[in-house]
Chain A
Amino acid sequence: MAEPLLSNGMSDEFRAFLDDEEQIDTVLSESLELLD
Chain B
Amino acid sequence: MSSVSSDSEGDNVRLKQIADILDVYRVALEKVGVRLEESSIDESLDKCRRHHDEHIRCHQIEERSVDPLKIYAWFGFDLADKLTRKSQELLDGDDSCSSNAILAQRHDILKALVATMNSTILVERPRGGLDRVTLNYLVRLLERELDEDSDHGIGQNGIFAAFHSALSMKRAFYRIVRKGWEGSKESD
Which B residue sits closest to A31, measured CB to CB? B115
Taking the closest CB of chain B, its distance from the CB of A25, in whole angstroms, is: 7
Q: Interface majority SS on B: helix, strand, loop or mixed?
A: helix
What total of chain A residues lie within 8 Å of the partner, measured CB to CB?
28
Q: Decide yes or no: A13 and B62 within 8 Å by CB, A7-B67, A31-B118, A35-B135 being known contacts.
A: no
Taking the closest CB of chain B, its distance from the CB of A13, in whole angstroms, is: 5
> Which of B32, B61, B68, B123 is the most central at the interface, judged by chain A CB atoms within 10 Å of its CB?
B123
Q: Which of A5, A18, A35 contacts B24 (CB 8 A)?
A: A18
Q: Are A28 and B67 in contact (CB under 8 A)?
A: no
* Complex Cα spacing A1 to B60, Å: 10
Q: List A residues at the B interface (Cβ < 8 Å).
A: 1-11, 13-14, 16-18, 23-25, 27-32, 34-36
7 A-B pairs (CB sep. < 8 Å): A4-B62, A7-B64, A7-B67, A8-B188, A9-B66, A31-B135, A34-B115
Q: List B residues at the A interface (Cβ < 8 Å).
A: 17, 20-21, 23-24, 27-28, 31-32, 59-70, 111-112, 114-116, 118-120, 122-125, 129, 131-132, 135-136, 139, 188
